[in-house]
Amino acid sequence: MNYNWNWNIFWAPAPDGTGVYFGWLITGLGWTLSTALLAWGIALTVGAAIGTLRTTPVKWVVRLGNAYVEIFRNIPLLVQMFLWYFVLPELLPKALGDAMKQMTPPWASFWPAVLCLGFSSGSTKYHRNICTSSGMLRKIST
């Protein structure tokens, strides 16, 4: 394998003239970390709530928690992203939906992605950890 890597491309001027390619990578890293951290916060909150709901002795509350988990686990993440981005603004009150649609890029795609990842991850990961690590050894259907 005789390939010579051109690492200087990171310092080459970007086509739009606003900086170098390395700056684009750092900006992308910032967006990725902010999306992940905000979605994690939502997932932790939602997962704790759903995990707690699923351990109560009240049957209808357990069913409500189970329904939430089943809905979010059985809809593919890509379909959920589509629903959060295109359908949610139409279901919200007109003023709020219009405000979501008129956000300037990249905010218009950032917030639906954060909400989608947060609610989806909260239903699939954290509820199991909360229920099993809290000493409640009830069987949880997965």
In a domain, 120, yes or no: yes
- Residue 7 in domain: no
Residue 105 lies in a domain: yes
Question: Does a structural domain hold residue 27?
Answer: no
Q: Please, are residues 48 and 126 in contact by the beta-carbon 8 Å criterion? A: yes
For the chain, the domain total comes to 1
Selected residue with higher pLDDT from 124 and 79: 79
C-alpha 108/C-alpha 101 separation (Å) is 7
**pLDDT on residue 132:** 56
Q: What is the pLDDT of residues 56-68, one digit of tens each?
A: 899 999 999 889 9
Q: How many CB atoms lie within 10 A of CB 136?
A: 13
Domain assignment of residue 110, yes or no: yes
Determine the pLDDT at residue 134: 52
What is the Cα–Cα distance from 1 to 107, expressed in whole angstroms? 43
For the chain, give the mean pLDDT. Answer: 86
Q: What confidence category does residue 17 fall into, taking pLDDT thresholds of 50, 70 and 90?
A: confident
Q: What is the pLDDT of residues 66-114, one digit of tens each?
A: 899 889 889 999 999 999 999 999 999 999 989 988 988 888 889 999 9
CATH number at residue 62: 1.10.3720.10
Structural domain containing residue 119: 42-133
Q: In the predicted model, is pLDDT for residue 14 greater than 50?
A: yes
Residue 136 and residue 55 in contact, taking contact as beta carbons nearer than 8 Å: yes
Residue 63 has a pLDDT of 92
What does the alpha-carbon distance between residue 140 and residue 123 come to, in Å, rounded to a whole number? 13
Question: Is residue 18 one of the residues assigned to a domain?
Answer: no
pTM (2 d.p.): 0.77
Contacts of 115 (CB under 8 A, 6+ apart): 39, 42, 84, 88
Give the other-Cβ count within 10 Å of 80's Cβ. Answer: 18
